[in-house]
Amino acid sequence: MDNTRTENIGTLVVLGATGDLTSRLLLPGLGRLLTEQPERRISLIGADVAPRDGRQWAEVVRAAFDSVDATGPAVEHTMAHTDYLVTDASSAEDLGQVLASATGIPALYFALPPGVTARAVRALHQHEIPEGTVLALEKPFGLDQAGAAELNRELTSLVPEDQVFRVDHFLGKSTVLNILGLRFANHLFEPLLHRDHVAKVEIVYDEILGLEDRAGYYDRAGAMVDMIQSHLLQVMALVTMDAPLSVHAADLRAAKTEALRAVRPFAGDPAAAGRRARYTAGTIGERRLPSYAEEEGVDPARGTETLAEVTLESATWRWAGVPFVLRSGKALGTARREIAITFRGVPHLPSGLDGAIPPTVLRIGLGPDAMTLELNVNGPGDPFVLDRSRLTAEFGTGRLNPYGEVLNGLLDRDPSLSIRGEAAEQAWGIIDQIRAAWQTGRVPLEEYPAGSDGPGRWASTG
């Protein structure tokens, strides 16, 4: 047993252990982490209402570890120190049992729907929380700005802010973290990331995936809450923030929070700043998708959007007036996942240079992980005719997957990759304004066939 990490977490408790998130993302993330860090010693408790025994749970854990080829002493230690507790997460008594079963400092991971998480947090108030306990919460963090503020109050009356992990797995993606290196470890781009040089920034995460049996969650969230309120606003904060003093938790989180404070609907007009649509029946590759409204578990009357686009601005000296278009949707024809920074056109082209001169674009791929700079050069053939050239770098995959990075921070009690309470409220504040405009009916819910690139009139700007 390695006792050198006594300040770290001793037991990871997963509340919502029988859910999809646990088997599909959390446990594989843990498996990768334990393989990379053979010295780590972690006990694991799975807790949920479903009746399971320790052996059945161990099989689930083993299958998830096997899915990422997890091996080594840390993996075997966890396998030998894992158990399942039948737990109603909203019952103070059950949570008391969970806390009593944990060895060392516990981390409680709420892999639960927001309503159940809120009840569990309330129930925890009836207990003495062990010193150092970490509470990790999945998105959505609350359901609006007021709800996030309330949840923040309840959490920080249980444990200090640094021990509340508001998880956003995008912050564990290696290309997202790469924004820091690209911006702050090169003199080339940073001076140009400024309103004088940038015409627009797009942060796009278009998926070909449809609902994937997640109607119960997704139909209440929609694309805006599922992707933009959390992930894409975090990416925007990394693109717009000023250089932090360090990339340690306090500085990095303060810089991101400050950046989010400046974000508002473009030109201060929440109705004009957002568009929404949902898919109708269509085909993606070989797959035929029914219309969203007819998917199992969907209530069409909710008017949930499966594609959302917002145009925001960072009201700062550096960025004022530059549109930031954030967009994400399901069941689209092309998986476009990138940050595209389009620079301004040249002020004057010397006569004699012929050809189209589209603006220079820097694309940071968010999967596959790559970076491309699109330039106009005197290309092959006639040297006086301009051609488009692309400088591309492909990045290897990160040492850990995004959930592995998230868990790494959690188990080390390093909140660098988690969202500060104030930032979560700010993100909701931005989105709530646009959603309020949607509720007045001023912004129609448009349609697009599954497998297309969105509603016809949203001509792609990529």
Under DSSP, the state recorded for 181 is H
The C-alpha atoms of residue 16 and residue 46 are separated, in whole angstroms, by 8
Question: What are the E-state strand segments in 134-231?
Answer: 134-137, 164-166, 198-206
Q: Which residues contact 320 (CB under 8 A, 6 or more apart)?
A: 195, 313, 314
| Residues taking part in catalysis | 231
Instruction: Name which of 226 and 295 has its Cβ closer to ligand BG6.
Output: 226
User: Residue type for 219, please?
Assistant: D
Least Cβ distance, residue 207 to ligand BG6 (angstroms)? 6
Nearer to ligand BG6, 402 or 404 (CB): 402
Q: Which is nearer to ligand BG6, 52 or 231 (CB)?
A: 231
As a whole number of angstroms, the distance between CA 438 and CA 273 comes to 10
Q: Give the three-class secondary structure for 307.
A: strand
Question: Could you tell me which of 21, 230, 44 has the C-alpha nearest to residue 116?
Answer: 21
Kindly state the smallest distance separating residue 278's Cβ from ligand BG6, in Å.
14
Binding mask 401-440 for ligand BG6 (x = CB under 6 A): -x--------------------------------------
CB 42 within 8 A of CB 12: yes
The answer to whether residues 159 and 127 touch, using CB atoms and an 8 Å cutoff, is no
Q: Minimal distance in Å, beta carbon 381 to ligand BG6?
A: 40
Which of 41, 330 has the CB closer to ligand BG6?
330
**Taking the complex as a whole, how short is the minimal distance between the CB of residue 213 and ligand BG6, in angstroms?**
12
Binding mask 105-134 for ligand BG6 (x = CB under 6 A): ------------------------------
Cα 239 from chain centre:
15
Nearest-CB residue for ligand BG6? 226
| Min dist. Cβ of residue 316 to ligand BG6 (A) | 28
Binding positions for ligand BG6, 211-250, rule CB under 6 A: 226
DSSP at 57: H
Binding mask of the shown chain, residues 353 to 382, with x at each position contacting ligand BG6 by CB under 6 A? --------------x---------------
The interface mask with ligand BG6, positions 384-403, x = CB under 6 A, is ------------------x-
Cis peptide before 140 (omega within 30 of 0): yes
Residues 295-334 that bind ligand BG6 (CB under 6 A): none
Dihedral, CA atoms, 192, 195, 200, 204, nearest 10 degrees? 70
Comparing CB distances to ligand BG6, the nearer of 94 and 168 is: 168
Question: What residues between 151 and 180 interact with ligand BG6 by CB under 6 A?
Answer: none
Kindly state whether residue 207 participates in binding ligand BG6, applying the rule CB under 6 A.
Answer: yes
In angstroms, give the least distance from the CB of 302 to ligand BG6: 17
Judged by CB under 6 A, the number of residues near ligand BG6 is 5
Q: How many CB atoms lie within 10 A of CB 382?
A: 11
DSSP 8-state assignment for residue 2: -
Contact residues for ligand BG6, defined by CB under 6 A: 207, 209, 226, 367, 402
